[in-house]
Structure 1
Amino acid sequence: MPQLEVDGARLTYDDEGPRDGAGAPLVFIHGWTANRHRWDHQLAHFSATRRVIRVDLRGHGESDGSGRRSIAELAGDVLAVLDHLKVERFVPVGHSMGGMIAQTLALGHPDRIERMVLVNSISRMTYSRGRGLLMAVSTQVPFKLFVATNIQRAFAPGYPREEIKEYIRTSAATPREVVMTCYGAMRSFDVLDRVGEIRVPTLMIHGYYDIQLPVSQMLRMAKAYPDAEVRILDAGHELPVEKPEELTSTIDRFLTERP
């Protein structure tokens, strides 16, 4: 369980797989209130043939530190770990907020990105008037209720309730200050007008039942990308744990079959 101190926080990460494996290293970036173990299935699969790195974002999982107030600052943390590991070119794979971080890295450091995978992610947070009001009100409820409500609705109908309760428990263990500052960072994230600059092949994988970041918003983003491939899976917002095998095979095909 290696750690790196970055701006007063100890960031925990994994670095596994052969250094001389096929292709650039894969860098898995988890979402809001989650941790690097969201990618357990992908780590086990891909580390057999290539280098795989995953990070607990600041204040999440086994990393400490206070929350970052922008996606750009979170991207800076990830880049600091990669610089420490002397990783130049890489493939960011980001889920939800992690996908926002991946896009920020691609825009800020295009020469370092070989290709990119976005899982249940978007380029601009967009709300109807009613949903915007609901989300604003939701921040005023007790913290545990706020987290539980957001995590509960992230899963597709029929997902086991006991497993959802465990993810709620893990998310609620994330410090309140980290949860709320990252929540604000996501709400203010907007690079939709710039994603046309991202020229690398990009795979966008989304859950059909995602009501957190709806498919319609992802498709709007996809149209703005010069080189985007879209896959819709039978899941909600938590694809890495709802459909781990299908997600892994979809990423694998993109990495091996796409020139």
Structure 2
Amino acid sequence: MTTLNGFSQFGNGPHKVFVLNGWFGSSADWSALTPALDPDRFTYAFFDYRGYGLSRDIQGAFTFDEVASDVLALADHLDWRRFSLVGHSMGGMAMQCVLLAAPERIVKMAGISAVPACGSRMDEARLAMFSAAIDDVAKRAGIIHFSTGSRLAAR
């Protein structure tokens, strides 16, 4: 039996849209945006990757190919034959993997500060910093602080 990823759904329109968040994010990050969306034209599925948000306890390989497979499994479960994708940051890379896995199912795509399909090239120092962030909350906070231009409070 396939384990489905967690997601939240908004709207009931005919145009189906998966929304994919960036690294360290979850479907909850999009909640402030929903008042600006048209629920009569679109149905949105705010998707959580394995290990994040509503999918926090789902184990896996944690790869982009797995994300693509999980999106397609949820699309099948929802009976969404064709759909669009919105991807923020790492979600932009994830949506490109969905496109590669099932191009005939994709209507449109929109990337918001999207990481390209080739990934983010990292020298050894940067890769070490990101690797250390896996087990160190303070290092993760530092990456987020830096990547947001050091203009947001830690909270």
Is the pair's TM-score, using the shorter chain for normalization, greater than 0.5?
yes
Aligned length: 150
Return closer, same or farther for 1:126/1:35 CA change in 2, 3 Å cut-off: closer
* Aligned counterparts of 2:120 and 2:58: Cα–Cα separation in 1: 29
Q: Does 1:89 align with 2:82?
A: yes
Kindly state the Cα deviation for residue 15 of structure 1 after the two structures are TM-superposed: 2.1
Of 123, 126, 138, the residue aligned with 1:132 is 123
> Bigger radius of gyration, 1 or 2?
1
Identical amino acids, percent of aligned pairs: 25
Return closer, same or farther for 1:146/1:157 CA change in 2, 3 Å cut-off: closer
* Aligned counterparts of 2:13 and 2:104: Cα–Cα separation in 1: 20
Amino acid at match of 1:124: C
Kindly state the Cα deviation for residue 84 of structure 1 after the two structures are TM-superposed: 0.3
Amino acid at match of 1:58: R
Q: Any conservation in 2 of the 1:36–1:61 contact (CA below 8 Å)?
A: yes
Of 28, 40, 48, the residue aligned with 2:31 is 40
* Aligned counterparts of 1:35 and 1:67: Cα–Cα separation in 2: 17
* Runs of 4+ displaced beyond 3 Å: none
Return closer, same or farther for 1:125/1:156 CA change in 2, 3 Å cut-off: same
2:104 alignment counterpart: 111
Of 45, 55, 62, the residue aligned with 2:54 is 62
Superimposed CA distance per residue, residues 164-198 of structure 1 (whole angstroms, 9 cap, x where no aligned partner): x23xxxxxxxxxxxxxxxxxxxxxxxxxxxxxxxx
* Aligned counterparts of 2:62 and 2:48: Cα–Cα separation in 1: 17
* Structure 1 gap segments, 5+ residues each: 167-259
* Aligned counterparts of 2:73 and 2:120: Cα–Cα separation in 1: 30
* Aligned counterparts of 2:144 and 2:126: Cα–Cα separation in 1: 14
Amino acid at match of 1:36: S
Q: Any conservation in 1 of the 2:22–2:88 contact (CA below 8 Å)?
A: yes
1:151 alignment counterpart: 144
Kindly state the Cα deviation for residue 38 of structure 1 after the two structures are TM-superposed: 1.8
* Structure 2 gap segments, 5+ residues each: none
Q: Secondary structure at the match of 1:153?
A: helix
* Aligned counterparts of 2:120 and 2:10: Cα–Cα separation in 1: 37
Q: CA RMSD in A?
A: 2.2
Scaled by the length of structure 1, what TM-score is found? Answer: 0.52
2:21 alignment counterpart: 30
1:13 alignment counterpart: 7
1:74 alignment counterpart: 67
* Aligned counterparts of 1:28 and 1:140: Cα–Cα separation in 2: 28
Scaled by the length of structure 2, what TM-score is found? Answer: 0.83
1:222 alignment counterpart: none
Kindly state the Cα deviation for residue 77 of structure 1 after the two structures are TM-superposed: 1.0
